[in-house]
Structure formats: structure tokens, C-alpha cells
């Protein structure tokens, strides 16, 4: 049964049982309305309340400055955000250049001359920068190349160069080759497949004293809600719900308001075409989704409801909000790494110690020198004890214990104990 299992899968992850019980009831009959939550109109007042409460609870738990940031629910997963981040921030970059050129050429400037100047600037200066530290930032980088062509995409750092073509380290920020005035600098805060997490916000990307600085985008799909985030350092954060927030189906984008109207408006499709830049699908345009409070089209209110219930539970459990959850996440991760480190002849932790993820603990089992057989035995015996979902990602193999928020301390303790007994058996 559910009570016998601790599920360490990387996503979708386990959800708290009490949240699922509430969700199951809501699917049948939401608040005595006789209709389930997945049947009610997304335009109903109750749907709007669910969206607004989830947004407010997220902002409260993470201390998102509500005056400066907009929270939107998107629908194409983390992968959709790889594209959305490119489209929207390129659009914002073009809008800035457009305004600057208009200012330079004066109010009466000929439209063709403005477009020509803009086109020249795009060709000479437009860059998006990627810090590639694992499989997911690599995918985002590849998506940028697919959408824009390689000439606009700068690989500012590639962790594989430090480690024989493998991920597992983060290149020192002093070596990053950042472009001047990049439309965005992208990184993945926690690499789910490779078990690499940024220990903190990279200081080279911090805003300058005058408020200017790089346009920073971070993928926080697999570590959001597990530690304090310096939100004001980012132009955009995004995360799929299916690990620490809720069930698969919604993706959250936290967008700096200065990138949205009235401060910044996306260029028209006609202008983008003249500049040879791609026109975004409307579903990926933050200003459209934000203007409609995430209801430009049919949104799964059920998924937002589940995320909202997880947030309510977190707020109830941790009076000091994300700091409380962070302490638990660190405690669980330390326990597991300590158990692994105790037996260096049996376990090899994959990433470098300085960048070990608190969320995805990746290791190899090298007992008796035969990795394949020892990992099979490890997985089999773990499963027999109700410790499931531990198989590493198919692209890298090995073992991965995903230590998301829904893993209770006792679950982590049980796995740590198993790691020890397997090593000594």
C-alpha cells in the first residue's frame, strides 16, 4: 500500500497523501457544488479564486515581491519554458533597442530607416548566453539554437570541459564568457539528471548598485520551494509543478514586471518577421497570459488546485516558510550523503562535492567492482523494503534518490539506513 512505500522518483514525484485525499474529493464534488473541480468552468469565480490563492500563497512562501513580479501558470512544461524564455526575452531586448534607436533618430524618423538600424543591431549584437551544467540546461541551450540559429546563441560555459566530457562540476564563474548586453543569461539551478545544484546565486550575475545588470533566467523545476531564492536577482524563474509543487500539468513562471506592459511590450509579429526573428506562439507570450490572469485559454484548474493545497500545507507546516523547509531539505540530504561517504569502497557519489544537489542524490554502487550487478542488487533489495523510484536517469544510469519536499525525514532516514546495511552485508 501507499503507506509502505517511500517513492524517490525524480518527477512526477510523490504528493502528500492528505493533499491527494482533498484532491480526490474535489474531483468528485468541489465544495458541495455537485460538480468536480475538473468539470467547473475555468472562467468561474471559484476557478479565479483558486488561481489567485495559489499565486498569493506561492508569493508568501517564497517572499516574491508582489509589486515587482508577476506569477503566471503556463502549460507546456519546463520544456515549453526553454522556448518561452527565448521568445519573451528576445522580444524585450528588441523592444529596448527599438526605443533606443527611435530616441537616436528622433521622432520623425523614417520607418524603413528604423527597421534597417534595428536589423543591423540584431545581426551584430543579439546574443543569448547559456551556462551548461547538465542535461537540462543543455536541452535549453539546444532549443535556443533550434529557434534562433547558432549565430545568436553563446555557450558561455560548458561544465563538460572540466570533467572528461561529463557533467558533475560548475565552471568557476570567473571563466564564464558572458556577452555584453545579452538578451538573457540562462542557467539551471538544479540539474535533475546529473545531481548538480548551484550552491548559491552566482555573484557575477548579481544586479549592479544602479539596478542594471544581466537579464538572468533560471530553471528551478527541481529545487523550487526547497530553499530561499533571491527573487529580485532574476528577470525570470520558472518551474514545472511535478516535483516540489504539485502534479504534472502546470508550469509556473515568475516574471519581472518591468519586462511586461506597460514598461515593455513585445514587438509585433510584422516587426519580428522584418528582423528575421521567430514569432512566438501566443501560448508562450507572458504578456498575453499575464493580462488574462493565466486564463487566455483553458487552464487545468485541478492542477492549480493541487499546487495550491501543497502550498497551504507548506505554509501551515513551516511558520518560517521556505526557511523551515530548507532546513529539513538540508538535513535529509546531509543524512544521505553522510551514509554514502561512510563507505567509499561501495559507493561513488557522482557530482563534485562543491555542487552536490540536495534534491537529486546521484551515486554509483561499486561493491565488488561490478557496477552493473551491484546496482541491480541495490535496487532490488531497496524495492523489497519499500524504497522505490531509485533508478538513475536512462541517459546516465546509476542510482538517483530524489529528495523532494514530500519525502518525510523518516523516509530519508530509512534510505540512509538501507545504504548502510547494503554496504556492510
Least distance in Å: CB of 423 to ligand PMP?
A: 29
Q: Which is nearer to ligand PMP, 192 or 226 (CB)?
A: 192
The residue annotated as part of the active site, out of 57, 194, 219, 303, is 219
Please give the DSSP secondary-structure letter assigned to residue 9: -
Q: How far apart are the first and last CA of the chain?
A: 27
Q: Do the beta carbons of residue 133 and residue 352 sit within 8 Å?
A: no
Cis check for the bond before 262: say yes or no (omega within 30 of 0). Answer: yes
- Residues between 179 and 208 that touch ligand PMP (CB under 6 A): 188, 192
Q: What DSSP character marks residue 297?
A: S
What is the distance between the alpha carbons of residues 178 and 127, in angstroms, rounded to a whole number? 10
The nearest distance, CB 140 to ligand PMP, in angstroms, is 8
Q: Measured from the CB atom, is 83 or 416 closer to ligand PMP? A: 83
Please state the closest distance from residue 76 (CB atom) to ligand PMP, in A. Answer: 7
The interface region with ligand PMP, picked from 18-26, 77-85, 295-303, 378-386 by CB under 6 A, is: 77-85
Catalytic residue among 55, 127, 129, 136: 136
Give CA–CA dist 375/398, Å, rounded. 7
Whether 331 is catalytic is no
When asked if residue 221 is in the footprint of ligand PMP (CB under 6 A), the reply is yes
Alpha carbon distance 337, 180 (integer Å): 39
249 binds ligand PMP (CB under 6 A): no
**Residue 11 interacting with ligand PMP (CB under 6 A):** yes
Q: Is the peptide bond before 192 cis (omega within 30 degrees of 0)?
A: no
Nearest residue (CB) to ligand PMP, 84 versus 340: 84
Q: Which residues contact 120 (CB under 8 A, 6 or more apart)?
A: none
Is 136 in the active site?
yes
Q: How crowded is residue 104: how many other Cβ atoms within 10 Å of its Cβ?
A: 10
Pair 225, 15: CB distance under 8 Å:
no
Do the beta carbons of residue 343 and residue 186 sit within 8 Å?
Answer: no
Q: Rank residues 247 and 387 by Cβ distance to ligand PMP and give the closer one.
A: 247
Whether cis (ω within 30° of 0) applies to the bond prior to 12 is yes
Which of 55, 169, 243, 332 is the catalytic position? Answer: 243
The grid coordinates of residue 19 equal 493533499
The verdict on 36 binding ligand PMP (CB under 6 A) reads no
Span near ligand PMP by CB under 6 A; candidates 43-51, 75-83, 323-331, 351-359: 75-83
Applying CB under 6 A, which of residues 61, 130, 136, 186 lies at the interface with ligand PMP? 136
Beta strands 190-191 and 128-132: pairing type?
unpaired
Q: Which one of residues 16, 36, 77, 213 is an interface residue with ligand PMP (CB under 6 A)?
A: 77
Active site residue 313: no
Candidates 75, 85, 154, 222: give the one binding ligand PMP (CB under 6 A): 222
- Closer to ligand PMP by CB, 97 or 133: give it: 133
Look at residues 189, 245, 192, 240 and name the one whose alpha carbon lies nearest to residue 218: 189
- Where helices occur in 106-229 by DSSP H, the ranges are 111-125, 135-148
Which residues have CB under 8 Å from 260's CB, separation 6+?
70, 286, 287, 290
Does 78 bind ligand PMP (CB under 6 A)? Our answer is yes
Q: Which of 240, 246, 351, 389 binds ligand PMP (CB under 6 A)?
A: 240
What is the closest distance, in whole angstroms, from the C-beta atom of residue 123 to ligand PMP in the complex? 31
Catalytic residue annotation: 136, 219, 243
Binding site for ligand PMP (CB under 6 A): 11, 77-79, 136, 188, 192, 219, 221-222, 240
Amino acid at each position: 500500500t501507499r503507506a509502505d512505500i517511500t517513492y524517490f522518483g525524480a518527477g512526477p514525484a510523490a504528493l502528500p497523501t492528505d493533499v491527494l485525499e482533498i484532491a480526490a474529493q474535489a474531483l468528485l464534488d468541489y465544495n458541495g457544488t455537485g460538480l468536480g473541480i475538473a468539470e467547473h468552468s475555468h472562467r468561474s469565480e471559484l476557478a479565479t479564486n483558486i488561481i489567485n490563492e495559489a499565486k498569493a500563497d506561492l508569493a508568501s512562501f517564497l517572499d516574491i515581491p508582489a509589486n515587482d513580479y508577476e506569477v503566471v501558470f503556463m502549460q507546456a512544461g519546463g520544456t515549453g519554458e526553454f522556448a518561452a524564455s527565448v521568445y519573451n526575452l528576445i522580444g524585450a531586448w528588441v523592444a529596448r533597442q527599438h526605443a533606443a534607436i527611435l530616441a537616436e533618430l528622433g521622432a520623425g524618423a523614417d520607418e524603413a530607416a528604423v527597421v534597417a538600424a534595428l536589423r543591423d543591431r540584431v545581426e551584430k549584437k543579439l546574443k543569448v548566453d547559456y551556462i551548461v551544467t547538465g542535461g537540462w540546461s543543455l536541452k535549453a541551450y539546444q532549443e535556443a539554437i533550434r529557434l534562433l540559429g547558432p549565430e545568436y546563441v553563446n555557450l558561455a560555459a560548458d561544465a563538460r570541459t572540466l570533467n572528461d566530457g561529463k557533467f558533475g562540476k560548475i565552471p568557476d564563474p570567473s571563466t564564464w564568457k558572458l556577452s555584453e548586453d545579452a538578451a538573457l543569461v540562462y542557467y539551471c539551478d538544479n540539474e535533475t539528471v546529473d545531481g548538480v545544484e548551484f550552491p548559491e546565486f552566482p555573484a557575477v550575475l548579481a544586479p549592479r548598485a544602479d539596478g542594471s545588470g544581466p537579464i538572468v533566467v533560471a530553471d528551478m523545476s527541481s529545487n523550487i520551494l526547497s530553499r530561499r531564492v533571491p527573487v529580485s536577482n532574476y528577470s525570470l524563474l520558472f518551474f514545472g509543478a511535478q516535483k516540489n509543487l504539485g502534479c504534472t500539468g502546470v508550469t509556473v513562471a515568475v516574471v519581472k514586471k518591468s519586462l511586461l506592459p506597460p514598461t515593455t511590450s513585445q514587438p509585433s509579429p510584422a516587426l519580428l518577421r522584418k528582423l528575421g526573428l521567430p514569432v512566438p506562439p501566443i501560448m508562450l507570450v507572458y504578456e498575453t497570459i499575464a493580462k488574462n490572469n493565466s486564463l487566455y485559454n483553458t487552464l487545468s484548474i485541478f492542477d492549480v488546485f493541487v499546487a495550491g493545497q501543497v502550498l497551504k500545507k507548506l505554509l501551515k507546516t513551516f511558520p518560517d516558510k521556505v526557511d523551515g523547509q530548507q532546513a529539513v531539505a538540508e538535513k535529509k540530504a546531509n543524512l544521505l550523503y553522510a551514509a554514502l561517504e561512510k563507505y567509499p569502497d561501495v559507493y561513488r557519489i557522482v557530482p563534485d562535492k562543491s555542487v552536490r544537489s540536495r534534491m537529486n542524490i546521484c551515486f554509483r554502487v561499486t561493491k565488488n567492482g561490478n557496477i552493473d550487478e551491484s546496482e541491480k542488487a541495490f535496487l532490488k533489495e531497496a524495492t523489497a523494503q519499500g524504497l522505490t523510484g531509485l533508478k538513475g536517469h536512462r541517459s546516465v544510469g546509476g542510482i538517483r534518490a530524489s529528495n523532494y519536499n514530500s519525502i518525510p525525514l523518516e523516509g530519508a532516514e530509512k534510505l540512509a539506513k538501507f545504504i548502510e546495511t547494503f554496504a556492510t552485508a
